[in-house]
Structure 1
Amino acid sequence: MYPAIGEPMRILGKDAGQGEVKVLPETDDDIWHLYNIIRTGDLVTASTVRRDEKSDDKLRAERAEKKRMTLGVRVEKIEYDGDGLRMRLLGVIEEGPQDIGQHHTLMIEPGEPLRIRKAHWKTTDMERLEKAAKDTVKPRIVFVSLDQDEATVAVLRQSGLKEIVTVRSMRSGKQYDEKGKPFDYHGEIISKLSAVATPDMPLVLLGPGFEKELLADDIKKLPKGTFGQLYVQHTGQSGMVGVNELIRGGMGAQILRDSSVGVEMEAVEQLMAGISKGKLAAYGPSEVAAAASAGAVETLLVLDSVLREKDLDGVVRDVESQKGKVIVVSEEHEGGRQLAALGGIGALLRYDLQPQ
């Protein structure tokens, strides 16, 4: 089950001399932000558990109970678990009460503070951290994309769209459940929703035909406050294709327009439209850098994985100095995959650099 919505990530302290920031992630989205900020070579200090190996007796050390302690690990490998909503940092212990020089894995989860020390903080990293700490946490959105045959339940997070489960109506096959009772299609959908949705989360029902309206009628019969505000939207297709169609196509409800993923996908759509027309758009590292240097970039779009791997501070500074906007696009949704195909970086322009 997804955790309840919490407060924004807190910055607990900064030490400019050490290049160190202490933070407290509050939600799974905060873990996603940290995944995009922490890199190999950083020293991360956090509370963890490890066997007490003070004894010289190897057998006793192997039997020793694990104890909680604070260790500083020089990061060699980073693993993000989008399903478990946590991050693993693997590396060598450099600070702590024991086992200096040995390998250890830190588990980074919501509710546990950590310190991040870098030799150099990129401007984009610090801006992302501060934005995550200042922004109001907006409710996630839960989608049910359905037709008469099946329903897909999905969740929209800052890290992207996540498909949760598919429920089949059984109308064209087995009509009864294992206990011999008639299969309740809508009841099964509502049961799956109860595991992921809370009253804080808007609930969007979408798809072709009238099945979404029938499900909406059943949901409205539930006790008040069972789910969040209900939206019903028409799309040409169901499943994840329908969810992406809704977000790309104007995102009928205001709650969708306000979501970070919705903003990202809309910007990528604008970029793709500009490229297809050959106007007011640039893509690829060299073309975008030239546009930024000329002050022509209205909106810079950068894939989060590219921002992790490359130092784009110069391009970002050029854009921001000309009052341009920077959008970091998640690689976890369709818009991110489209941007990746363009080299992971693109720009919406104020004017064409090469007049047509």
Structure 2
Amino acid sequence: MRALISPRHLNSFKYKCLLFWSMKILKKDLKHNTVTVQVQGQDDLWHLSEIIEKGDSVSAETQRKIKIGDNDTAKKSFFVTINVEKIIYDEAAKQLRIQGITTSEHEQIAKGSHQTIEAEPGTKITIVKPQWQGYILERLDEASKTSFSDTLICLIDRESSIIAILKSKGYEILVELHGEVAKKYEGKMSSREFYPDVVKKLEEYSDRFDLASIVIASPAFWKEELIKEIKDEKLLKKIRTATVNTVDKSGLDEVLKRPELKAALSEDRAAKEAIVVEDLLREIGKEGLVTYGIPDVSKAAEIGVVSKLVLTSGLISKKKIEGKFEEIDSIMKKVDSAKGSVFIINSDNDPGKRIDALSGIAAFLRFRM
């Protein structure tokens, strides 16, 4: 048996903390439209990239090179306040850069100069908005909750297994295990050592993450074969089963949409995204109370018939880059003002990709237009 796993998942407590700790809300003064947060983990950067908008006032400590003597330079920390012009989130590099114009004078930084605040775990950021919309406050509250759930998914077949934990931003694959398939003439369907090793991982993660549910999913009967190897009664009580076609990332996406797990996964962000998209596509298929595309959704928002707006992080990022975000922002604000809900889906996951194929925006309607 060989395990494809990064040491960061099992051997680094520091990495675990950065990955799973939730953002801290240090101050929330909505009377003055001010919120101060501290970045705890990598997911917080993604949340902040959606929370901070052009025109916001953002204050934080930043570093800048200053000249020392004739030839030398050194980095020095400054506390600056900027009027935000651009937000850049680099998913691959796990970096958030907030660019804008300084609004206060400093010895080394002139008022009105361009400045970039680079957010990372540990950064404290104060955000002042003209107004905090309801859907943005919901996003803030979501970010302040734990970024990983108490649900684990284990995909299994006769020779491989993937174990992943659900997070606020999709899921995180913790380990991939592979066993050697036994020869047919031996009368064995899988390696004798493979399934016990998978069980050991389930026991380890159950304790580490204080799991409430473990979903074991497989093609055919492999899930039942794995469950036979589990002797721990407490672990058995946490197990739910489902059927999937493949043991890979598409299998993980498939689990999130299984109807038999809808109730169990109803509180998990990734599962919610999958369920919302399934409901949306079903309504589109039967020409129900839904619409999609910016022109039609904008019209529905204008007359106040949107009960739930669904759009992707990819569409938001694209419009911000193009300098056309105001149109999307206006739709969200109109829906929020009409007591509708706004649901932003991560474009990196399968549900988000399916919505992006429909132009990145859709809406459930209260009644037909």
TM-score using structure 2 length? 0.72
| RMSD value, Cα | 4.0
Structure 1 pair 348–164 and aligned structure 2 pair: CA distance change class (3 A): same
Choose the corresponding residue for 1:108, options 104, 115, 120.
120
Asked whether the equivalents of residues 149 and 170 of structure 1 are also in contact (C-alpha less than 8 Å), the reply is: yes
Amino acid across the alignment from 2:259: G
Choose the corresponding residue for 1:79, options 62, 81, 89.
89
Asked whether the equivalents of residues 257 and 263 of structure 1 are also in contact (C-alpha less than 8 Å), the reply is: yes
Count of residues in correspondence between the two structures: 333
SS at match of 2:220: coil
Q: Which residue of 2 aligns with 1:210?
A: 221
SS at match of 2:149: coil
Q: Greater CA deviation, 199-208 or 21-30?
A: 21-30
Q: Distance in 1 between matches of 2:349 and 2:232?
A: 33
Amino acid across the alignment from 1:211: W
Asked whether the equivalents of residues 26 and 36 of structure 2 are also in contact (C-alpha less than 8 Å), the reply is: yes
Q: Which residue of 2 aligns with 1:123?
A: 133
Asked whether the equivalents of residues 219 and 243 of structure 2 are also in contact (C-alpha less than 8 Å), the reply is: yes
Amino acid across the alignment from 1:12: K
Determine if the alignment matches structure 1 residue 56 to structure 2 residue 69. Answer: yes
Q: Which has the higher helix share?
A: 2
Structure 1 pair 56–47 and aligned structure 2 pair: CA distance change class (3 A): same
SS at match of 2:259: coil
Structure 1 pair 108–136 and aligned structure 2 pair: CA distance change class (3 A): closer
Q: Which residue of 1 aligns with 2:284?
A: 275
SS at match of 2:261: coil
Listed as ranges, the matches of 1:161-240 within 5 Å are 161-171=171-181, 184-186=193-195, 189=198, 194=204, 198-201=208-211, 202-218=213-229, 220-221=231-232, 229-240=238-249
Structure 1 pair 112–192 and aligned structure 2 pair: CA distance change class (3 A): farther
Structure 1 pair 128–285 and aligned structure 2 pair: CA distance change class (3 A): same
Q: Greater CA deviation, 287-296 or 94-103?
A: 94-103
Same amino acid, percent of matched pairs: 23
Choose the corresponding residue for 1:156, options 153, 158, 166.
166
Structure 1 pair 320–106 and aligned structure 2 pair: CA distance change class (3 A): closer
Q: Distance in 2 between matches of 1:104 and 1:38?
A: 14
Q: Which residue of 2 aligns with 1:263?
A: 272
Q: Distance in 2 between matches of 1:30 and 1:189?
A: 31
Q: Greater CA deviation, 183-192 or 289-298?
A: 183-192
Asked whether the equivalents of residues 144 and 152 of structure 1 are also in contact (C-alpha less than 8 Å), the reply is: yes
Q: Distance in 2 between matches of 1:14 and 1:68?
A: 27
Asked whether the equivalents of residues 149 and 166 of structure 2 are also in contact (C-alpha less than 8 Å), the reply is: no
Q: Which runs of 5+ in 2 are unaligned?
A: 1-8, 10-15, 184-190, 320-324
Q: Distance in 2 between matches of 1:349 and 1:106?
A: 40
Map Cα deviations across residues 271-321 of structure 1 (whole Å, 9 max, x no partner): 111212222221111112222334433322122333453234543454445
Shift of 1:217: 4.7
Q: Distance in 2 between matches of 1:210 and 1:115?
A: 53
Choose the corresponding residue for 1:296, options 302, 305, 320.
305
Map Cα deviations across residues 224-273 of structure 1 (whole Å, 9 max, x no partner): 78x99443323343322222222122251633122122222211111111
Choose the corresponding residue for 1:89, options 97, 100, 103.
97
Q: Distance in 2 between matches of 1:108 and 1:268?
A: 32
Amino acid across the alignment from 2:69: D
Q: Distance in 1 between matches of 2:225 and 2:62?
A: 49
Q: Distance in 2 between matches of 1:107 and 1:196?
A: 32
Map Cα deviations across residues 78-131 of structure 1 (whole Å, 9 max, x no partner): 13346x7x433164784666355576562322x43212355x557366434543
Q: Greater CA deviation, 313-322 or 158-167?
A: 313-322
Q: Which runs of 5+ in 1 are unaligned?
A: 174-181
